[in-house]
A and B are shown apart, each in its own frame.
Chain A
Amino acid sequence: MMVILGIETSCDETAAAVVRNGLEGLSSVVSTQYELHERFGGVVPEIACRAHVENTLPVVQTALEEGGVGLEELDAVAVTTTPGLIGALLIGVTTAKALCWALELPLLAVNHLHAHIYAAWLSGEEPTLPAVSLVVSGGHTSLYLTHDRLRHELLGGTVDDAAGEAFDKVANILGLGYPGGPPIEREARDGDPAAVDFPRSWLAPDSADFSFSGLKTAVLYHCLGQNASKRDIETAEHAPGFVADVAASFQEAVVDVLVGKAFDAVERHGARSLIVGGGVAANGHLRNRLEREAARAGVSLHLAPRRLCTDNAAMVAGIGYHMLRAGEVADLAVEAHP
């Protein structure tokens, strides 16, 4: 039996979790700043690094307490070392190194995106491999060919904005606050997804790359014309029906592309299943469309559990268990890579 502490500080969230044997979550603590973000109208009032310094030790302590685990019971510490904001990553990495040095424990250096893919295993299902994995979040939109839990081959990714970023920016255009995913999904329920024919960017026919920048701009032009300043965006008022229709049409355009490209990749690579993780994978409409398409195409679909889609440390501790078993232990001199 192995108990692993996971630490995640790659972007906004400070997170820690205790996971037993790679699957059994004993605790998962995430200290989000969403309330602050929202109060300040979508702008981070205090930047991630400073907040991480203040949050990391209390969050780790809470995760241990909630998990009912003492430091002496840990078998290893797993930490996200890449990719992310360097100053933010460093705080988690330094904390993990200090713990490993003091407690003489193995250190596991986790790739944040691989951890998002591993979140699908935390649903308790075992994806048939090879699988195609889609990680779709605020900072990333990437497709991988997953050979096993630890080996992922990058097939393509966004060439401009991530899908989650498009949600955040469109929510800003529509005056819906931050983060943009949940309010757009909510508004879209009352809207007509065919109301506005927003562009779907497929790039080259066989491309596994994504582009969402043009869609964001198309939404802006549709709502406020071509010359809207940031101030115009902040002060604009829209009729409720209009907001619902734009939200629904925008969401439909994003989902069409994500679903289309994911299943194209499954077919092209002869994959047995499709894994989807990352913050945008919490979107209910995307989940429904993926499920429908998976049933139609006879592909087994593995979605990360909703609460483990956004950044968390349970996925970090979980994949860390498999790294430990595979002997993929990091040196204490390991560095964070942006």
Chain B
Amino acid sequence: MTCSARIECQTAGPEQTMSLGAALGDMAAPNDVFGLTGTLGAGKTCLVKGMARGLGVADSRRVISPTFVLLRRYEGCLTLYHFDAYRLDDAEAMEDIGCAELFEAGGVSVVEWADHVDGCLPPEHFRVSIRVTGSSRRDFAIEGVGDGPSDRMEELRHRLAPWSADS
């Protein structure tokens, strides 16, 4: 398994975080899996709202936290499976809700609190870590895990240039 260099991005508020998410959603391909980490209030659900917009979900405003129900599903150009592992404490619990099957169902899967369920993500996935750096500022580190995602990092870097932390 290879792990390519990270892409680092910054946003200054929920609107920008959603735009960054939209760019991620727009480049997402069938069976892509994104694991999100970051503390309470970091903006994980906000990023997924943007991803839904990028995936063409008609009413992405209605993308809401799946903490209580564990999984929500939205129809766009591709189906978005929005998992939330906040209330889970191991990969087995995640497998119980059928994640393995859904990861390969042709849609795009996003797992909030992915660090709670380490080991249930497929060998190839994208890892997005969010860090709070101010009341509305956030740092994003995006990594491709496995050959497929690693090979797409250059394209992704290009797409995410507007939010690049280096520019």
Interface residues of A (CB under 8 A from B): 11, 40, 42-50, 83-87, 137-139, 157-162, 164-165, 168-169, 172-173, 209, 213, 216-217, 220-221, 226-230, 233, 338
Contact = CB atoms under 8 A, between A and B. Distances in A.
B100 interface: no
Given A43-B89, A233-B40, 10 more contacts: A42-B87, A45-B89, A87-B96, A160-B46, A161-B64, A168-B68, A169-B67, A173-B40, A220-B39, A221-B41
Among all A-B residue pairs, the 10 with the closest Cβ atoms: A217-B41, A139-B68, A138-B68, A47-B96, A47-B93, A43-B89, A161-B65, A44-B87, A139-B69, A85-B69
B67 A165 contact: yes
B65 A213 contact: yes
Contacts of B61: 159, 209
B97 A49 contact: yes
Contact of A85 (B40, B71, B135): B71
Given A11-B68, A85-B70, A86-B71, A216 B40 contact: yes
B interface, over-half SS: loop
Nearest to B67: A165
B152 interface: no
B45 A87 contact: no
Contacts of B97: 47-49, 85, 87
Contacts of B65: 160-162, 165, 213
For chain B, the bracket of interface size reads 20 to 34
Contacts of A221: 41, 135
Contacts of A44: 87-89, 93
Contact of A161 (B67, B73, B94): B67
B162 to A, nearest CB: 24
A298 to B, nearest CB: 33
Contacts of A139: 68-69
25 contacts: A11-B68, A40-B89, A43-B88, A47-B94, A47-B97, A48-B97, A49-B97, A85-B70, A86-B73, A87-B98, A162-B64, A162-B68, A165-B67, A168-B68, A169-B40, A172-B40, A213-B46, A213-B65, A226-B132, A228-B40, A229-B39, A230-B40, A233-B39, A338-B71, A338-B73
